[in-house]
Amino acid sequence: MPRFTIETVRHHPSRRHRTYRAETVADACRQAIEDKDWSGEMIDRDGAGEVFVSGIWKVAAIARAGLPMPIPSHYGETIQ
C-alpha cells in the first residue's frame, strides 16, 4: 500500500498591544501596521483557523524530498 507524507497547517492569529504617539487615530493605525517588532506577541489558539493540507508527497520518510503532488481542492486552504 502506498504511503504519503502530508503537511498540514493551522493558522494562529496573533495580536499585540502597543501604544503609539500620533496626531490622529489614522496616524496611530498607520504606525501600528508599519511596526515590524512583534516581540511580546500573544498567540490566539482559540481563534485558530481550520486545518488544511499544504503539501503532499509520495515519499514515506521525508517531506519535501520529491515533487509535491496536487492537493485535492476539498483539503486545501479556504480563501477568506
Domains of the chain: which residue ranges? 5-75
User: Residue 66's pLDDT is what?
Assistant: 66
What's the pLDDT score for residue 63? 54
Mean pLDDT of 9-30: 88
The letter for the amino acid at 13 is: P
pTM above 0.85, yes or no: no
| Structure letter (DSSP) for residue 31 | H
- Classify residue 54 by burial, with Cβ atoms within 10 Å: 0-12, 13-18, 19+: middle
What pLDDT sits at residue 62?
58
The single-letter code of the amino acid at 28 is A
| pLDDT tens-digit map of 25-77 | 888 999 999 999 999 888 888 888 888 888 777 765 555 566 777 777 777 76
